[in-house]
Amino acid sequence: GAGAGCHVMALTELGLAAEGIDICREAVEVMSSRGIVSRQCSLWDVSHLGDFSTVFLLMNSAGAVGSIKALRAFLQLLHTETSPDCCVYLDVAPPDWAAVHAAAKRRREPLSERSFKEDQWAVLDCSLTFGSVQGLT
C-alpha cells in the first residue's frame, strides 16, 4: 500500500492528482493527517481505478499478491478495471534473506518456512500499458 504516502505527496506537489490506498487503517489515517487523498482498501479492490491514467505499485507492493500466478491474475484484473490508456508501473526487489530467515525463527507469528524458497526470486523490471501492448521485461 501507500504507507505514509510519501510518493503520493511527491506527485501532488508536482501538481498531479493522486490518491493513496492502503489496507492498514493507521496508514490511511497518517495520509489523511498529511492532507493526502487516501482510501482504505485491499490491493485487489481496483474497481475505482477507471479514472486514473497511471497506477504505481512501488517498493514491492506487487509482491503483496503472493505468487507469480496471483500476479498474473492481478494484472489481468487491472487490465479489466483500468482505462485502455492506463500505464501500470511496478517494481520488485530481491528480499533481504537474513530478515526472511529471522522472521521464520521469531517466537511470535513466525513466517512459515513453506512460504519461501531460498534464493528463488523473480526480478522484474517492467513498464506496462494496457492500450496497445508495450513493455520492457
Backbone torsions φ then ψ of 27, nearest 5 degrees: -65, -40
Distance CA 128, CA 117 (A): 28
pLDDT, position 129: 47
How far is CA 16 from its chain centroid?
A: 19
pLDDT, position 132: 47
Q: Is the dihedral of CA 76, 81, 87, 92 positive or negative?
A: negative
pLDDT, position 130: 47
pTM (2 d.p.)? 0.63
Distance CA 96, CA 119 (A): 10
Distance CA 1, CA 45 (A): 12
Residue 100 grid cell? 526472511
pLDDT, position 120: 59
* Averaged pLDDT, groups of 10, the chain, 137 residues long: 88 89 90 92 83 82 75 87 85 74 84 67 48 47
Three-state SS at 102: helix
